[in-house]
Homo-oligomer: A and B are copies of this chain.
Amino acid sequence: MEARIDKIKQQLQSQGYKLTPQREATVRVLLENEEDHLSAEDVFMLVKEKAPEIGLATVYRTLELLSELHVVQKLNFGDGVARYDLRGDNTKHHHHHLICVQCGSMQEILDDWLGPLEERLEKEFQFQVIDHRLDFQGICKKCQEKEKDQQADQ
């Protein structure tokens, strides 16, 4: 954990930015919740526990800065809030999502099926891939069952 913070500190400093206490607290929250997709508001509430004086604007500015440095990735599931994911050293940042259009639930699948496609893109389009995102919209198991029940009722 400390090692990863040090690395982020270096990334910041190499661009002339400082790892202030507020930024460090924010990064720690991201590290401790690496599995989640936290919104800015989520991060804010968690950071407040460590640094109660922090302002929401600072959290936004920090997340924005970390995005620019590619330390975190900004995600959008279409629910009106941006979410922020740490880009692991372990670069297992290839999440894929199954988003149910009926109940809004979101399930994550972790495989990375797209390596070969990325290679093809770099060749055919000279597009240098940093990350990708693959979301499936559809109807989850539960909602399919609900639908069947409703049809049975009618």
Interface residues of A (CB under 8 A from B): 73-78, 82, 98, 100-101, 107, 109, 113-114, 117-118, 121, 125-141, 144
Contact = CB atoms under 8 A, between A and B. Distances in A.
Nearest to A121: B136
A136 B128 CA distance: 9
Copies in the complex: 2
23 contacts: A73-B137, A74-B78, A76-B77, A78-B82, A118-B136, A121-B136, A125-B141, A126-B141, A126-B144, A127-B136, A127-B138, A127-B139, A127-B141, A128-B144, A129-B137, A130-B137, A130-B138, A131-B136, A133-B133, A133-B134, A133-B135, A133-B137, A134-B134
A98 B127 contact: yes
